[in-house]
């Protein structure tokens, strides 16, 4: 593989439908760098796993300024501060602990579990909304509205405001895509403008919750005074923005990638229809086989690091290609095969280390319920086109539309 077009190949839309041959080629040279001094690309499982746990790898956005992400003073003042996803310890740890208090163990151990009935009701309602048609777009009619509805209820964001934050969320998600050749200054400006607009919207909700708290997470973030003290208003806003966007963007792709994979493996779809307990294994194998997050591009070395005999200098940018690691034959037997009976599925689908996916328990439950009910209710579902059209995003990979046809709906 020639070095020069490497990043363009990873981010090229032409590879979106099936990037795995490219990932296999990447693994032949586990540590790659473009000739012009661009980021180092890591694509093997054990190296990615090690680096995700290495304190010499920074997620702090301030370390990326040398890569062309500078803001003007006016833009910096107007933008939301980085979320804990883009911070290092100890600030990352403090904010993540505070966010986790109303969401999961040890303070709220049953938060996600107790949502099961509510989630199942949302799924049933969306399927009922298909009506008498024999053709749907899974994305627009199911896998997008489902997690959006869930995260809105969890946070306390009015569902009817979805049209307002949809475009902001799309712009912010697109800003994660490290497309070579784009004007980084302009893209950065557009992304921060979207973050500012989203922040202003959330600020209105925060003021409402200060006056009249509810039983939602936004109210708890505003009013909580745990051992770490209260969050500042700006910390609440950046955290709420992260949860709102991350709470649905990745799950949309997980559910859509899952349905596409099941339709390509009808024998597994039938097994799920016959035995809903298989959903747990199916979702874990999907997170390995077709992960919604393909790569992590925003990491920086804060010290020299040696990987397989190659020294990555301090200050270098690193891309971790999670999806390539998930199909590494050094780690997984027969990695190109979708196998829900796989016994060892310690995938990188939710990352690893201190930045492992905060919402993983909720995403797992949503995907399990969604795929189980689609398998049970849709009679003889079939793809209209294969491959479907994909989103223009190398980081968050999933179909933009997934049109399917079926013979009817089975009784609820």
pTM, two decimals, is 0.93
Crossing angle for the helix pair 116-128 and 145-155, to the nearest 10 degrees: 140
Q: Which of 331, 359, 358 is nearest to 347 (CA)?
A: 331
Rounded to a whole number of angstroms, the distance between the first and last alpha carbons of the chain is 52
Q: What is the mean pLDDT of the chain?
A: 90
Q: What whole-number percentage of the chain has pLDDT above 90?
A: 73
* Residue 225 confidence (pLDDT): 82
| Chain segment 27-52, per-residue pLDDT in tens | 999 999 876 678 899 999 999 999 99
Whether residue 25 is predicted with pLDDT greater than 80 in this model: the reply is yes
E strand or H helix that includes residue 306: strand 305-307
Backbone angles phi and psi of 297, in degrees to 5: -95, -10
* Residue 13 confidence (pLDDT): 77
Look up residue 218 and give its two tokens.
């936004």
- The three-state secondary structure class of 399 is strand
* Residue 65 confidence (pLDDT): 47
| Chain segment 200-234, per-residue pLDDT in tens | 999 999 999 999 999 999 999 999 888 899 999 99
Q: Give the mean model confidence (pLDDT) for residues 260-269.
A: 98
DSSP state of 386: S
* Residue 14 confidence (pLDDT): 78
Look up residue 141 and give its two tokens.
């009619």
Render the burial of 163-200: b for 16+ CB within 10 Å, e for the rest. Answer: eebeebbebbbbbbbbbbeeeeeebbeebbbbbbbbbe
Q: Which of 356, 397, 319, 332 is nearest to 30 (CA)?
A: 319
Whether residue 79 is predicted with pLDDT greater than 80 in this model: the reply is no
């Amino acid at each position: 593989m020639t070095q020069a077009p490497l990043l363009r190949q990873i981010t090229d839309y032409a590879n979106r439908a099936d990037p795995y041959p490219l990932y296999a080629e990447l693994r032949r040279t586990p540590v790659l760098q473009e000739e012009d001094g661009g980021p180092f690309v890591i694509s093997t499982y054990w190296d990615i796993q090690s680096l995700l746990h290495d304190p010499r790898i920074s997620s702090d956005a301030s370390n990326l300024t040398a890569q062309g992400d500078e803001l003007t003073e006016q833009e910096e003042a107007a933008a939301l501060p980085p979320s804990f996803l883009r911070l290092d310890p100890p600030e990352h740890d403090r904010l993540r602990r505070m966010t986790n208090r109303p969401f999961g163990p040890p303070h709220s151990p049953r938060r996600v579990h107790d949502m099961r009935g509510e989630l199942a009701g949302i799924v049933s309602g969306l399927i009922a909304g298909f009506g008498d048609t024999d053709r749907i777009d899974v994305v627009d009619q199911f896998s997008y509205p489902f997690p959006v509805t869930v995260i809105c209820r969890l946070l306390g964001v009015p569902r009817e405001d979805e049209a307002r934050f949809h475009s902001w969320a799309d712009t912010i998600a697109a800003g994660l895509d490290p497309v070579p050749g784009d004007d980084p200054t302009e893209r950065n400006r557009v992304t921060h403008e979207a973050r500012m607009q989203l922040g202003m919207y959330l600020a209105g909700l925060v003021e409402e919750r200060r006056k009249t708290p509810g039983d939602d997470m936004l109210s708890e973030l505003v009013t909580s005074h745990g051992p770490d003290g209260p969050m500042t208003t700006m910390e609440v806003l950046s955290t709420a923005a992260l949860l709102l966007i991350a709470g649905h963007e990745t799950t949309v792709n997980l559910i859509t990638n899952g349905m596409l994979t099941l339709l390509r493996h009808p024998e597994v779809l039938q097994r799920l229809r016959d035995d809903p307990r298989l959903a747990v294994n199916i979702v874990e194998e999907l997170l390995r086989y077709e992960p919604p997050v393909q790569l992590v591009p925003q990491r920086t070395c804060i010290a020299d690091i040696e990987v397989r005999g190659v020294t990555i200098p301090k200050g270098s940018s690193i891309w971790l290609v999670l999806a390539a690691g998930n199909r590494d034959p050094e780690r997984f037997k027969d990695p190109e095969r979708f196998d829900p009976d796989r016994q060892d599925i310690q995938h990188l689908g939710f990352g690893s280390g201190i930045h492992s996916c905060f919402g993983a328990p909720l995403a797992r439950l949503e995907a399990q319920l969604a795929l189980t009910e689609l398998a049970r209710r849709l009679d003889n579902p079939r793809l209209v086109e294969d491959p479907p059209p994909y989103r223009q995003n190398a980081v968050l990979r999933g179909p933009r539309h997934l049109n399917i046809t079926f013979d009817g709906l089975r009784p609820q």
